């Protein structure tokens, strides 16, 4: 079968790579893709939000029988509905279910109503009311823009002045436009963060192997929050007991809650969890594969990816064969110097003799004149290695990074060290 993947980051490269391994898949297309995806799929520079041109692309490629929508924006914007309603077979939640990520206010209300453990919170649309509430709270306190804000809409305020500034930026300055007109002010949770992705067909939910993301830009968790500077799988602190608790008290409850609300969720449901002294709590839901979590999860998958994707779409996930490799995986992100703030693009990327078992998942890359590989974004390449344990995988990843160079290349040296 021929497959179209919507998106063009490291996550999408990993998804295209997983489809490529499947004996069922013939040709793969990606919109817009990137220089790495281009090596294994046909790409065209159509934006993930340009629904009309995505449809035209499908009409011009009648051989495509499966569309996989990977990023948050088109999911929240209803691309799945748009294409399904035209008769296409699409993987991803419809708009009314993708809201579980698209509106933090929706997600918090859902958890409160159905007794799913999460941080306590209040929500505000009135700046003055938010301000007077926050003045009475203890710090640190968490201020969140309601809508999608490219992963930047969460501020952990260490003191009241920072909290007030965050409210001003979101509600008065409208830094995140519409996304910040409503804010959530949330209790700060202390603990270790674990990500557990799951496949969900609306009835059955099956967790994938766990992972942990390093979100801050610099070593020792210093610097600004980024989209993710590296990941490893499995998490070293997520016990079997926690797994059972999360499955029964968070995952099943969420599927049931979404059904009761008339918002059946089909796709990948992402659980951002905090392991606190008071038990495991939900930090956030995402309606999709995480980036860069996917770059360590899919390489550990030991079953056919296409079969699982089809079983989700067909509502037959209970019959799916989902097995995982015993090996651990580490992914280190090579970023442009300056990311997540301003950075320059267009530097040539030189890649030496990389070990055969290393996976390079491209994010912000493009082909320049004469086929030169150029940087084209904040996160540039994810270097993934598998090993018999995290330590071995990490050493393999870092050894190979020595063979990759571009001007101002920045990466964390401690991915998979502080477990």
Q: Scanning residues 224 to 243, which ones bind ligand GLY (CB under 6 A)?
A: 228
How far apart are the C-alpha atoms of 15 and 18, rounded to whole Å?
A: 5
Helix ranges restricted to H, 179-304: 240-246, 252-260, 294-297
- CA torsion, ordered 136, 137, 142, 148, to nearest 10 deg: -30
Residue among 371, 322, 263, 355 at smallest CA distance from 18: 322
Closer of 38 and 284 to ligand AMP (Cβ): 284
Q: Scanning residues 265 to 324, which ones bind ligand GLY (CB under 6 A)?
A: 286, 290-291, 293
Q: What DSSP element (H or E) covers 99?
A: helix 95-102
Residue 136 DSSP symbol: T
Among 2, 73, 122, 193, binds ligand AMP (CB under 6 A): 193
CB of 156 to ligand GLY, least distance (A): 16
Q: Scanning residues 220 to 259, which ones bind ligand AMP (CB under 6 A)?
A: none
Size of the site for ligand AMP (CB under 6 A): 14
CB of 369 to ligand GLY, least distance (A): 33
Q: Does 404 bind ligand AMP (CB under 6 A)?
A: no
CB of 398 to ligand AMP, least distance (A): 24
CB of 290 to ligand GLY, least distance (A): 3
Sorted by sequence, the CB contacts under 8 Å of residue 415 that are 6+ apart come out as 214, 229, 230, 231, 232, 330, 331, 332, 394, 397
81 binds, among ligand GLY, ligand AMP, none (CB under 5 to 8 A by kind): none
**In angstroms, what CA-CA distances link 154 with 111, 157, 163, 179, 184?**
19, 9, 11, 11, 9
Q: Scanning residues 189 to 218, which ones bind ligand GLY (CB under 6 A)?
A: 213
119 binds, among ligand AMP, ligand GLY, none (CB under 5 to 8 A by kind): ligand AMP
32 binds, among ligand GLY, ligand AMP, none (CB under 5 to 8 A by kind): none
Among 188, 247, 324, 398, binds ligand AMP (CB under 6 A): 188
CB of 291 to ligand GLY, least distance (A): 4
CB of 402 to ligand GLY, least distance (A): 25
Region of residue 300 (phi > 0: left; psi between -120 and 50: alpha; otherwise: beta): alpha
Tell me the helices (H) and strands (E) count for the chain, helix number first: 13, 24
| Helices 10-20 & 305-313 angle (0-180, nearest 10) | 100
Return residues touching ligand GLY (CB under 6 A).
Answer: 151, 213, 228, 286, 290-291, 293
Return residues touching ligand AMP (CB under 6 A).
Answer: 119, 142, 144, 154, 156, 186-189, 193, 215, 272, 283-284
């Amino acid at each position: 079968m021929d497959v179209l993947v919507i998106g063009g980051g490291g996550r999408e490269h990993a998804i295209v790579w997983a489809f490529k391994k499947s004996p069922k898949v013939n040709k793969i297309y990606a919109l817009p893709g990137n220089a790495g995806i281009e090596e294994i799929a046909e790409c065209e520079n159509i934006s993930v939000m340009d629904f009309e041109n995505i449809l035209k692309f499908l009409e011009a490629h009648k051989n495509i029988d499966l569309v996989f929508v990977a990023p948050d924006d088109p999911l929240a914007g209803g691309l799945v509905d748009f294409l399904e309603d035209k008769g296409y077979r699409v993987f991803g939640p419809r708009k009314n279910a993708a809201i579980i990520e698209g509106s933090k206010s929706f997600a918090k209300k859902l958890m409160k109503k159905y007794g799913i453990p999460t941080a306590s919170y209040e929500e505000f649309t009135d700046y003055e009311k938010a301000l007077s509430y926050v003045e009475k709270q203890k710090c640190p306190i968490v201020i969140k823009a309601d809508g999608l804000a490219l992963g930047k809409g969460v501020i952990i305020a260490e003191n009241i002045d920072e909290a007030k500034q965050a409210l001003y930026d979101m509600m008065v300055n409208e830094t995140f436009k519409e996304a910040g007109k409503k804010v959530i002010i949330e209790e700060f949770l202390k603990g270790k963060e674990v990500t557990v992705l799951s496949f969900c067909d609306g009835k059955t939910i099956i967790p994938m192997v766990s992972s942990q993301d390093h979100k801050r830009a610099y070593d020792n968790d210093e610097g600004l929050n980024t989209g993710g500077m590296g990941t490893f799988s499995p998490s070293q602190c997520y016990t079997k007991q926690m797994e059972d608790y999360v499955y029964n008290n968070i995952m099943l409850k969420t599927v049931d809650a979404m059904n009761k609300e008339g918002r059946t969720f089909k796709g990948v449901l992402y659980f951002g969890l905090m392991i606190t002294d008071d038990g495991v709590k939900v930090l956030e839901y995402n309606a999709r594969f995480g980036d860069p979590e996917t770059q360590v999860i899919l390489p550990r998958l030991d079953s056919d990816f296409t079969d699982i994707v089809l079983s989700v779409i067909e509502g037959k996930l209970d019959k799916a064969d989902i097995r995982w490799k015993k090996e651990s995986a580490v992914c280190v992100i090579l970023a442009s110097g300056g990311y997540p703030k301003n950075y320059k693009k267009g530097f040539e990327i030189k890649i030496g003799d990389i070990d055969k078992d290393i996976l390079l998942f491209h994010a912000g890359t493009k082909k320049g004149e004469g086929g030169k590989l150029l940087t084209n974004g904040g996160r540039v390449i994810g270097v993934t290695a598998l090993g018999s344990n995290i330590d071995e995988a990490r050493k393999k990843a870092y050894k190979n990074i020595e063979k990759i160079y571009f001007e101002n290349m920045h990466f964390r040296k401690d991915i998979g060290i502080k477990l």
